[in-house]
Structure 1
Amino acid sequence: MFRKKPNLNERLDALEDAARIGEPYLTDEHRERLERVATAGAERRALSAEHTVVGFFGATGSGKTSLFNAVVGEDLGKAAARRPTTSSPLAAIWHPDGSEELLDWLGVEDRRERQGEFAKNAGPLILLDLPDFDSVEASNRAVAERLAGQVDVLVWVSDPEKYADSVIHDQFIRPHANHSAVTLAVLNKSDLLAERDIDTVADSYAGLLRDDGLTNVQVVATSTLTGAGIDDLRGAIARVAKAHNAQTARIEADIVSVTERYTGAKGGGGVDKHAKRDLDAALTKAAGADRIAEITAAAYRKRLRQRTGWLLTSWITRFKPDPLRRLGLREEADELGVHRTSMPELDAASKAVANTGVRNYAAAVGEGLPHEWSAAVADRSEKISAALPAELDRAVARAKLPAEPSKGWSILTVFQWFALLAALIGVLWYLLVAFVPGVLTPVLGTDLVPDVEGWPLPTLLIMAGLLIGILIGLITAVFGGALGSGVKRRTRSAIQKEVASASETTVVEPLLAIREDYSRFAERIAVAAG
C-alpha cells in the first residue's frame, strides 16, 4: 500500500514519541539524545528559516579564527572594542533582520553585522567563530560541543600537524558521521607543506573522514598566509547558503544519527505459540498437577467407598482424613481467588522447573529485540519468577477438582441400605423365634421359620443382605479404581486451565507489554527515520 512520506515536523513528533515510549528501557544518554534532537529540531524549525548558520570548528593551533577572519574579510576581533571571553562564540551576520531570536537560541552574544551580501544570491547568512573543541577549558569545549549540535553547517578546520589526531576524529568528527550533506572540511596552514605534498595530505585527510563515515566530503586546502583556498572555501559556503536547505538537511542528519542504531531491528509481531504451550506445561508440572491428580483420585475413591461401600465396614473410612482437605484443597473452585492451599512450598526441583519455563518464554519474547528491551524482559521475568509460587498455589486453589462422585452413585447407597435392612430382618426374625415366638404366631401360625427350596427364609434374607452389600462394595471399589484414571485426567486438565490463566496474567501479559512497547517504539522510529 502506498504511504505518504512523513514531513519533517511529523518525523520530529515521531522522534519525541519514541523517546517517551522508550524512557523505561533506554539509558539516560540514549533517551536524552532522542529528546535533544527532537527538541532542537523543533526549536530550530520555529526560528528563522531564511538564515543559514555556519560554524567553524577546530582544534587548538589549527588557525581557525584566522581562517574565519579571512573568509569574513575582516579581523572582527580587532574591530571590537572588547571581545568577550574566549568561550564566547562570535557571529558575522549578513542580512540580520529576523536573526535575533535565532542567535538567542544559539546563545551567541557577540554579533557583528556585515554589509551587502556574502556572495551573490547567498541570502541571509551567519558565520560563527567557535572556541577550540579540544580546549583544556571545560567551558570552551562545552560551548563547541553544544553548538556542534545546533548549527546548520559544520566546517571542520584542521592543519597538517593535527588532521590525523585520533582524539579529534573519535570524539568530535565521527559522532557527526551522518552529516556529510552539511559538512565542509578544511586543511588549513597548507603553506607549511611543499606544493607537491598539499594534494597528498588533503587526500589523506579525506580518507580519514571517509573512515569516520563522512562520505562525499571534499577537503579544501587553505592558507591565511598566502590566501590560497580562501575563495574556494567562500564558494563552498556560498553554494550551501544558496541551496537554502542546510537547516532541513542538518535536522534530517541528526535524526538519522540518533535512529540508525534502532532501524532495521526485528521484534515486532507475536511470539511463537508453542512458547506459551511449553510455559503452561512447565508451570503445570511445577504446581504439582500429577501429585494433586493422584490425591484427587484417592479422595474420589474414598468418598465413593463411603457412599456405596458395605455399610458394616464403610463407616470406618470416615475416620481417615480426606486427602484433599488435609492439603487445604477443595473440589469447589475458589472463584474469589483468596483461598490458599496447605500444600508445602515448592521444592527446589519444582522451582527450577517453573523458573526454566519462565526463562524460556522470556527468551522467546526477547528474541529479536534490541539489548535494552531484551534486558528489560529478562529483569521482569526474574521478578515474576520470585512471585510465581504463590500464584501457582492460588491457581491450584481455583481449580475445580472432580473428587466428588456423581449423584448417580446414590442409587447403590439405597441398595446397600435395603441389603442391610434385609440382613437385619433375618437376624431379628431368628431372635424373635428364639426368645418371643408368640409375637410371630399371629402372623406365621405354627411354621415360624418357613423355607424356600429347603433354605430358611430368615437365612436367605441374611445371606442376601450380606452378599449384596459386599458385592456392591466390591463392584464400586473396582469401578472406583477404573474411574480414577479419568479423575486424574480431569484434575490435570482443571489445574492446567487455571495455571494457563494465571500464566497469561502473571507472565505473558507483563512480558508481552515490553515487546509491544518496542513495537510502538520501532514504529515511531521508522516514521522518524523517514
Structure 2
Amino acid sequence: MPRALKTKGTAPDELEERLGCLRAAVEAGRGRVSGEAVSQGEQVLERASRRRQLSSDHTVVGFFGATGSGKSSLFNAMVGVELARTAATRPTTSRALAAVYEHAGAQAADAGELLDWLQVQDRHVIEDAHASDQPQRSGLGRWWRGDSVVPAGGLILLDLPDFDSTAREHRDVVDRMAGQVDVLVFVLDPQKYADAVVHRDFLSRLASHDAVTLIVLNQSDRLPEAEVQPVLASLSALLDADGIPRQKLRAVSAATGEGIDGLRADIRAMVDRRSAAHQRLTADVSRAGDALAVDAAETALAQPGRPERQALAASLADAVGVETVVRAAKRSYRLDATAYTGWPLTKWVSKLRPDPLRRLNLKSADVNPDVNRTSLPAAGAAQRAMADGAVRRFTERAGEGAPPAWQYAIRDAGIANRDELPQHLDRAVAGTDLKANAKSWWWYVVAVVQWIALAAALAGAVWLLGLAVADYFQFEVPPAPRVEGIAVPTLLVAAGLLAGVVLALASAAIARAGAAIRGRTVRRRLQESVSRVAGDKVVEPVREEIERCNTFRAAAACARSGGAS
C-alpha cells in the first residue's frame, strides 16, 4: 500500500504520491465498491498518465457555456481575431476550435500531440505576440504587456460546443473536454446564470476544481449599471452553494471589452505558474478519491482476535464431531489397557469388543488423509448449519464497523470455501496423530506382575495337585511347608489369584484416569488441526479482506487530500 509522505514534498512529488494512492485504492476497491467510482478512478489514472506524457509547456484553457451565453464571442474577444463563428442561430459551435499561442522557437509538435489527444482538428496557430505586425493587427500584445513575451510555456484556448446542445455529439465533446483541459472557463449570461440545470449538471461538478476554474458573467453590458452588482451578488451566492469560491467570479462584456484584460490576466497568471495541468490532475485525483471514499470505513478495521478465532474453531470442532473422536479414543485406550493389564485368564474377552477408533478408520497405521477419509458420519443438515452459523458469526464480527460493501466482501471471503470445508475438516481429523497405537509404560509393568501372579497361582495349584495325587496313590511325601498355619501351595494359589484380580481392578481404575488424559490430548490435537483448517479456509481470507479494506481506506484518504488518515 502506498505510504503517506513523511514531509511535504514538491508539487510533482505530492501528485505522484496521490496518484499512487489512487491506483492502490482502485486496485483494492475493484469488485468491492461502487463500479462507477472505480471506473472514475481508472479514467483519472489513464488521463493523468497520458497528460503527463504530453507537453508540459502548454496550458489548455477551455471555454464552456450554455446556449446564448456568448461563449464564442468572448473567445474571439480573448483571442483578438474572429476565429469562432457567431450568429443568431444556435448552436454556432459544432466542434472544438483551438487558438494556439507559441513563442519563438517553440516546438509545434508538442502542441500537435496534445491537440491530437484532445481530438481537436480545427487549429489556428498564432505566432509570437510580439511579432512586428501582430499587436497592431489583432491586439494580441495585450496578453503579455511591456517587454514580456509569451513564456516558455505556450497557451491553447479552446472554444467548445454548448454544453446544453440538443445534439448528443456536442454534449459528448463537452463532457470529454471537461475532463481533459487544464483550465475551465465557464461563461454565464445575465438571463440564465441562475438556471438550476446549469448549476446542478455542470457547475456543482467543478467544486473540487476551483483552483483551475474561472467563472465569467458575460454580456454584462446588457444590464443597467445599477443591476450589475445585485446580479453578481446573486451569482456569488449560487456559486457558494455550488462550493466554488466567489473570488473566481468576474463580469465581462465581449461586445464592449469590459473585463477582458482582467480575464486575460487571470489566465496569464496560470500560464506563468505553469501549474494548471498539475492542479487540474490533483483536483481530478481528489474528486476520484472522494467518490471512492464513500465506501471507505471511518476507522481502520481490527483483525479478528484470539477469542473470535477460538470460538470459530470450537464451533467447527463440534460440527465435525471432535467429541465423538475423543470418546472413541478414550474407549480405545481402556480396551488396549485391559488387553495388556487384565487378568491373563480373562483379558482375551476384551479383544472381542470392537475398537471404536478402528471403526472410525483412525487407528490404522497406513491411513493417508489425502486419500482416505474417516468413517465419521457425514455432516448432516444440523452439522452444516452449525458450521455455517459459526462462519457467519465470525465474519459478521470481523466486518463490524465496515461499510456495507466491505461487510459483504468480508462475508463472501469467509464463506468462499464453505462447500469444501467439511472435506478439509475430515482430512484434518484423519491426518491428526492421535497416538492411537501408543502404549503406556505402566502397562508392561502390570503385565509382568500379572504373569508372575498367574505363575505363582499355577505353581501352587500344580503343587496341590501333586500332593493330592500322591496321597491318592498312598505315596509317602513330605508335608507342604506352612506359613502361619497355611500351606504354601494353598497360599500361592490364593495369593496369585487374589493379586491378579486386585491388579486387574486397579489397572482398570488407572486406565480410566489414563483414558481421561488421552482424551484431553486427543481433543487438544484435534482442535489444533481444526484451528489450522479454520485459519487457512476462513480466518486468512477474512484477514486478507480486512487488510484490503484498510488499504482501500488509507489509499482513498491519501488520494483525497494527500498523506494518510
Bin for the TM-score computed over the shorter chain: 0.7 to 0.9
Where do residues 10-21 of structure 1 align in structure 2 (5 Å cutoff)?
Answer: 10-21=17-28
The residue identity in structure 2 corresponding to 1:50 is: D
Instruction: Tell me what 1:400 maps to.
Output: 433
Deviation digits for residues 191-224 of structure 1 (CA, Å, limit 9, x no counterpart): 5655444433333333333333323553223444
Deviation digits for residues 308-333 of structure 1 (CA, Å, limit 9, x no counterpart): 12233322221221121222233979
Which of these residues, 203, 215, 225, is aligned with residue 185 of structure 1? 215
Deviation digits for residues 172-205 of structure 1 (CA, Å, limit 9, x no counterpart): 3333321000011123344565544443333333
Which of these residues, 452, 477, 494, is aligned with residue 508 of structure 2? 477
1:176 aligns with 2:206: yes
C-alpha distance in structure 2 between counterparts of 1:183 and 1:202, whole Å:
17
C-alpha distance in structure 1 between counterparts of 2:122 and 2:349, whole Å:
104
Instruction: Tell me what 1:302 maps to.
Output: 335
Which of these residues, 56, 60, 76, is aligned with residue 83 of structure 2? 76
Instruction: Tell me what 1:44 maps to.
Output: 51
Give the drift of 1:335.
8.1
C-alpha distance in structure 2 between counterparts of 1:440 and 1:166, whole Å:
137
Instruction: Tell me what 1:219 maps to.
Output: 249
Larger CA deviation: 429-438 vs 50-59: 429-438
**Which stretches in structure 1 are left out of the alignment for 5+ residues?**
none
CA separation of 1:349/1:209 partners in 2, compared to 1, >3 Å: closer, same or farther? farther
Other structure's SS at 2:244 match: coil
Deviation digits for residues 221-240 of structure 1 (CA, Å, limit 9, x no counterpart): 34445555444433433333
Where do residues 68-467 of structure 1 align in structure 2 (5 Å cutoff)?
Answer: 68-78=75-85, 87-95=94-102, 97=108, 98-114=110-126, 116=129, 117=140, 119-120=143-144, 123=151, 124-190=154-220, 195-224=225-254, 228-260=258-290, 261-262=292-293, 265-267=298-300, 270-330=303-363, 338-367=371-400, 369=402, 371-403=404-436, 404-429=438-463, 446-447=477-478, 452-467=483-498
The residue identity in structure 2 corresponding to 1:460 is: L
Tell me the TM-score normalised to structure 2 length.
0.81
C-alpha distance in structure 1 between counterparts of 2:246 and 2:358, whole Å:
80
The residue identity in structure 2 corresponding to 1:311 is: P
Give the drift of 1:447.
4.4
Whether the aligned pair in 1 keeps the contact of 2:84 and 2:93 (CA below 8 Å) is no
C-alpha distance in structure 2 between counterparts of 1:406 and 1:3, whole Å:
67
The residue identity in structure 1 corresponding to 2:41 is: L
Instruction: Tell me what 1:508 maps to.
Output: 539
Whether the aligned pair in 2 keeps the contact of 1:333 and 1:400 (CA below 8 Å) is no
Larger CA deviation: 99-108 vs 328-337: 328-337
CA separation of 1:29/1:2 partners in 2, compared to 1, >3 Å: closer, same or farther? closer
CA separation of 1:519/1:164 partners in 2, compared to 1, >3 Å: closer, same or farther? same
Tell me the TM-score normalised to structure 1 length.
0.86
CA separation of 1:411/1:273 partners in 2, compared to 1, >3 Å: closer, same or farther? closer
Whether the aligned pair in 2 keeps the contact of 1:180 and 1:217 (CA below 8 Å) is no
Deviation digits for residues 473-516 of structure 1 (CA, Å, limit 9, x no counterpart): 11111222233332332222112221222222222222222233
The residue identity in structure 2 corresponding to 1:100 is: G
**What is the CA RMSD across the aligned residues, in angstroms?**
3.5
C-alpha distance in structure 2 between counterparts of 1:509 and 1:214, whole Å:
46
How many equivalent pairs are there?
523
Larger CA deviation: 473-482 vs 432-441: 432-441
C-alpha distance in structure 1 between counterparts of 2:557 and 2:210, whole Å:
21
Larger CA deviation: 337-346 vs 141-150: 337-346
Whether the aligned pair in 2 keeps the contact of 1:56 and 1:129 (CA below 8 Å) is yes
